Amino acid sequence: MMVRFLIFGLMMAAQTVYALEPAVAPGLLATAVARPLLDQDPAVAAARAGLEVARQEAGILDQSPYEWTAKALTQRRTVAAGGHYGEWNLGIERGLRLPAKGAADRQLGEATMGEARARYGESVHDAARELMALWLDWLAAEQAQALAQASLTAVRANLAAVDKRVKAGDASRLDANLARAELAEQRRLANDAKTQASTSRARLSARFPGLVTEPAPLPLPLALDQNDGFWSRRILAESDEIKIVEAQVAKTEAQAERERASRIPDPTLGVYTASEVGGRERISGVTISIPLPGGLRTARSAKAVAAQEVATHALEFKRRQLETEIAGELATARGAYESMQIAAEGAKAVQEIANLTQRAYSLGEGDLQTLLLARRQASAAANSALQAQLVALKAWYGLLVDAHLVWDLERD
């Protein structure tokens, strides 16, 4: 029954027109269910908190790093053959950030915010990938348990047929013992499948607590109708990994501009007033001080320019690296889809052989060893078809997640 369902699903999938909408992802968790799970993920929450840190950092960079400095001086003047006079001097001064440096600082703040946003998007993407994988593993484990139960039922039917032939004198006690041993082995496999299903469910619930849902049949992937160029462009455009490196390049550019502007020192302006000779003289004035630049500022600027070049090459490397990964994922998805179809066809053929062998044995026209072998092959083929389906699903859903076509990922 499970194999027939698999074949029917493949036939239906082949007739489906692929469209880039979340609704074409059959069996995937609904957005209303998945988004709260992703938003509550600790890594996503940490990245979301990092946005506020970056926002504060951008605000700091937007402001001048200088503060007002107040100065006060008091002294006593003694004149030879004269009197003693109290004197004082009060002033206030502040450094002035040059306009080019302010613009570079604001550019650096914007790049910092861009990197934080990209890191937040990447954390959501990683959580989505993990949720998708754990969800499919659980569905596959539940379906494997159903296959194991179906095999167990078939083995019990084999034992009943053997017992019937033993009573009729057409089979030996050895055949009955072999059938019972096969039943014990199948019971063990069914228990292992049950344990695996419970384990997969526990992992999913522990990683994403709050998920309340019932198991459903493992969905079937759809064929990739779009060409590789489309998928590559889409995934690269939505890649938060690329956006992180792009933001880092923007940061190095802003830092290079800042160091270039820092070759001209910021001036410090101030005003003061003073009283001398016991108040008989009053002085007011303006002060300006400018550091004399040295070779250190030029060296820092050159270092920043070199760092900018490093970041630019790192961006190109990351882009090529992702293009390579995307090409591999696309080839895997297309190959896995074909393998799934082949495995399903093979499972159907082996299942028919097992059914014919079962019928022949019941009529006394076959031996038990052939029947047991046919049943084992049918069970193995069904499980292989299930695993091929799981691999194809992970490859297909992985492309949808990377392209931000499900769960409103593009908004992040």
Give CA 52 to chain center in angstroms: 21
Q: Phi/psi class of residue 29: alpha, beta or left (left: φ > 0; alpha: ψ in -120 to 50)? A: beta
- Give pLDDT, residue 222: 86
Beta bridge mates, 271? 92, 286
Q: Phi/psi class of residue 364: alpha, beta or left (left: φ > 0; alpha: ψ in -120 to 50)? A: left
One digit per residue, the tens of pLDDT, for the chain of length 412 reads 443 334 334 333 333 333 344 435 777 888 889 999 999 999 999 999 999 999 999 999 999 999 999 999 998 888 877 778 888 999 999 999 999 999 999 999 999 999 999 999 999 999 999 999 999 999 999 999 999 999 898 888 877 877 777 776 666 678 777 888 888 988 999 999 999 999 999 999 999 998 877 888 888 888 888 888 899 999 999 999 999 999 999 999 999 999 999 999 999 999 999 998 878 889 999 999 999 988 999 999 999 999 999 999 999 999 999 999 999 999 999 999 999 999 999 999 999 988 888 888 777 777 788 888 888 899 999 999 999 999 999 999 999 999 999 988 877 6
In order of 100, 161, 354, 373, the CA distances from 358 in angstroms are 86, 9, 6, 11
Strand order in the sheet with 281-289: 69-78, 84-95, 268-276, 281-289
Q: Of 206, 208, 243, nearest to 39 (Cα)?
A: 208
Q: Which helix (H) or strand (E) holds 204?
A: helix 173-207
In order of 182, 289, 328, the CA distances from 299 in angstroms are 79, 23, 44
Q: 2-64+100-265+297-411: which CATH topology?
A: Outer membrane efflux proteins (OEP) (1.20.1600)
User: What is the rounded CA–CA span in Å between residue 305 and residue 298?
Assistant: 11
Q: What share of the chain is helix, strand, coil (3-state, %, to 5)?
A: 70, 10, 20
Whether residue 337 contacts residue 224, with contact meaning beta carbons closer than 8 Å, is answered with: yes
Structure tokens at 164: 């019937």
Whether residue 190 contacts residue 152, with contact meaning beta carbons closer than 8 Å, is answered with: yes
Residues 317-335 as b/e (b if ≥16 CB within 10 A, e otherwise) read: ebbeebeeebeebbebbbe
Give the domain ranges of the chain: 2-64+100-265+297-411
User: What is the rounded CA–CA span in Å between residue 399 and residue 60?
Assistant: 39
* Cβ neighbours for 172, distance < 8 A, ≥ 6 positions apart: 166
Whether residue 410 contacts residue 404, with contact meaning beta carbons closer than 8 Å, is answered with: yes
Tell me the DSSP string of 15-81: TPPP-SSGGGSTTSPPHHHHHHHHHT-HHHHHHHHHHHHHHHHHHHHHS-S---EEEEEEEEEE-TT
Q: Which helix (H) or strand (E) holds 382?
A: helix 368-402
367-376 long-range CB contacts below 8 Å, 24 or more apart?
368/158, 368/162, 368/171, 368/175, 368/178, 368/179, 369/178, 371/158, 372/158, 372/178, 372/179, 372/182, 374/350, 375/151, 375/154, 375/155, 375/158, 375/182
User: Around 293, how many Cα atoms within 13 Å sit in the side-chain half-sphere?
Assistant: 16
